[in-house]
Amino acid sequence: MNIVSTKEFNANQEKYFDMALQGRVIIQRGQNMFVIQSIISNNEPDKIFDPDDDFYRSIPLEEVRDSIVGYIRKKHAK
């Protein structure tokens, strides 16, 4: 795993995309971090991520939206 700044990443994108074929590359921007990781490579064109436990525990976007809208309406009704 490699951690680089956005400035370093922008200057050497090809290098870090090549590194992402071997493992994760983390780009740090201030307090935020972003991960680049290859999910499909030339060696395994049909390989993609299978859903994991987090996916099955996730909440549909519509349900989140409805909950937020309901919460906001409830707060502003007072």
Range scoring the smallest mean pLDDT among 7-11, 19-23, 39-43: 39-43
Phi-psi region of 34 (alpha: psi -120 to 50; beta: other; left: phi over 0): beta
pLDDT tens for each residue of 31-71:
899 998 887 766 665 556 666 777 777 888 889 899 999 99
Res 10: pLDDT: 92
**Partners of 33 in the beta sheet?**
28
Q: What integer pLDDT is reported at residue 26 of this predicted model?
A: 92
For residue 8, pLDDT beyond 90: yes
Per DSSP bridges, beta strands 25-29 and 2-5 are parallel
Cβ–Cβ < 8 Å for 18, 42? no
DSSP result, 40-69: SBTTBTT--PPP-HHHHH---HHHHHHHHH
